[in-house]
Structure 1
Amino acid sequence: MISKKMENMVANSSAIRAMFEEGNRLAKIYGAENVFDFSLGNPNVPAPEAVKKAIIDLLNEEDPVVLHGYTNSNAGYEDVRQAVAESLNERFGTAFSGKNITMTVGAAGGLNVILKALLNPGDEVITFVPYFGEYRSYVNNYDGVLVEISPDTSTFQPKLDEFETKITAKTKAVIVNTPNNPTGVVYSEETIRKMAAILEEKQKKYGTDIYLISDEPYRELAYDGVEVPYLTKYYANTVVGYS
């Protein structure tokens, strides 16, 4: 028999995946052109030509051991991490080096690594409703407790008064997602500054470290000149996951 924990997870598996599978079933009945799938995020934008060419050149010319073997660092290739750091510094005015970067399998894989590194059983992780449904599973993977903040349905900016009251001595992390899935809202700079101030005050009150985890697979999906604040500039204990 599998563990009770895994049995419960299977019984309450991803609603997103269930919707995707239902879409496939309906497409077979009514035709794919008549079923609109808004479940899984499957990008359909082709890779830039330079990226395609670089991959082809590597496949044709590079030693297979280098291509398919283990990297020389668990955090990823040093030159790649340094290039990412320099790109972030240029875009956001930060001061990262390659040591601040870890390569992961996208933001979802990154979030799991972050939570595994941070959580002890019973630690609390706060997030804001509505949120990406997998957050609960990610936190549960490491025996944490997900704490929800109810939505302000007029703006979908975080309700900071409720947020402040729900931070406890057990709070280890806060997950934010901006631009947000599913609302599309971008948290304002004012919101981020106030949130950072609350977290600083609570860290001092409880004598603990509280980490702000910024889930950013949609960072580039901002329109009409809307700027997305880069959270590390506002709060020191910030970890960013990006796809």
Structure 2
Amino acid sequence: YNQKTQEFEFRPGPIISQVVLADEINRATPKTQSSLLECMEERQATVDGTTWQMPDPFLVIATQNPIEYEGTFALPEAQLDRFMLRVRLGYPELVEEVLILDEQKRSHPIDDLEEVLPVEELRELQAAVREVYVDPSVADYIVRLVSATRSHPDVYLGASPRGSIALYRAGQALAGLLGRDYVLPDDIKVLAESALAHRLIIKTSSSIHDIQAAQVVAELLDSTPVDNITPTGSGGTRGGPREVAAQVRAEA
């Protein structure tokens, strides 16, 4: 409330940002998580009946402690399904931990963060990733792999079509980062656990025997055959995502 104008003014909160880091997201209340779900799915936030669009690009990165449960709330399946990937960090290697100590000797690295690239270039890179070629047989492999999660005897609820889309898009991104304009089945295999495991609900009877979602994905990777594929795309290797973006601009 602005006392000078005697009117209510909207002040955007931290959610209306290009990059949102939700630290220990499982400590957020269900109401907060529900609001975040709207932002992630519909790219908008509703405040007092007014809808505000999220900026473009919009990215949510969340962390959670998988061990501690006191004072936490389990993320609903619908919200987990909106996260493209889940990565388990674990402990750093000894060399990495020494580097962490060295980097924080005098100040925290976050204090020296600088802009990596302009927003427009990021949008171009995102557009370039969408141009990375996915052979129909690779797409078929993705669908067969995801579909297999729905009929696995240890799985109560398998991955939805969002899982297929996430694995497809992640494969394109990985190929672009590796300097290719086409996706290989190996790209899909590398990303399968990160893209699918958090979307699976394991049956209680299987959880009792310590069956984990990651184990199920690994088993399905072993049992799902890969057809003979030669996905050479349209131009082979272009050198990286920036080169692909340059090609997209040239073709436009």
TM-score grouping bracket, smaller chain normalisation: under 0.3
User: RCO greater where, 1 or 2, for CA within 8 Å and sep 6 or more?
Assistant: 2
Q: If the length of structure 1 is used for normalisation, what is the TM-score?
A: 0.28
